[in-house]
Amino acid sequence: MRWLGLDELMGVLEIQRLLREKVVDRIVVDMAPSGHTLNLFGLMDFLDRFLAALELFQEKHQVISRNFSEFHRTPYQMKLIAFC
């Protein structure tokens, strides 16, 4: 599976790194009007979907962890809960 826009994202991050670390003063990006350019323009939509999916996974993980931990406590932990 290949995520569209990921190559372009890595390129943008590398450009940002080069400029931040002052490795170069200027960078010229020559982009043909092709699929790669269109992927770059659609990068924000890709990142929005990707981050929303990560957030959903995190929410599911939290629910599973919370529910799972309730059933797998040691007897000592259960006694503490019972007396609280």
The whole-number pLDDT of residue 12 equals 83
The whole-number pLDDT of residue 84 equals 44
Q: Where are the domains of the chain?
A: 1-41, 54-84
The whole-number pLDDT of residue 23 equals 92
The whole-number pLDDT of residue 17 equals 93
Query: Which residues touch 7 (CB under 8 Å, ≥6 apart)?
Result: 36, 39
Query: Which residues touch 36 (CB under 8 Å, ≥6 apart)?
Result: 7, 8
Give me the residues of the chain with pLDDT under 50, please: 78, 80-84
Q: For 11-20, give one letter per residue: b (16+ CB within 10 A) or e.
A: eeeeeeeeee
Q: With contact defined as beta carbons under 8 Å apart, do 39 and 5 qualify? A: yes
Instruction: Read off the pTM.
Output: 0.42
Residue positions counted in the chain: 84
The whole-number pLDDT of residue 50 equals 84
The whole-number pLDDT of residue 76 equals 55
Percent of the chain with pLDDT over 90: 11
Q: Which DSSP category does 34 fall into?
A: S
